[in-house]
Amino acid sequence: MTTLTIEIPENVETTLSDLIEKLGGKVISKDLENKAAKKNEVLNALEESVKFIKSHQAGNGDAKSLEQLMNEL
């Protein structure tokens, strides 16, 4: 089997990937893996933030003021 590396715009990537797989080919994309990893990282951070907010609203833990956060920078 021949390996071919191509660069295409993101808006046609899925359609082209589907076509290649229908033709019996295999799509190997590091960009898609990186995007999936980044998406999971963002979702995990968001979930952690929501848990912290709910905990703070329930009276558990102390949140820092904006001034305290700015002083840390």
pLDDT per residue as tens digits for the range 1-22: 777 777 777 776 667 778 888 8
Give the per-residue pLDDT at 50.
Answer: 92
Residues 21-66: tens digit of each pLDDT: 888 888 777 676 777 788 888 999 999 989 988 888 888 877 788 8
Report the candidate in 30, 31, 8, 33 with the shortest Cα–Cα distance to residue 19: 8
Give me the pLDDT at residue 47, please: 94
Question: At a CB cut-off of 8 Å and minimum separation 6, what does 67 contact?
Answer: none
Report the alpha-carbon distance of residue 58 to residue 56 in Å, rounded. Answer: 5
Residue 42 pLDDT: 92
Supply the pLDDT for residue 48: 92
- Compute CA distances 35 → 23, 41, 56, 58, 71, whole Å: 25, 10, 31, 35, 33
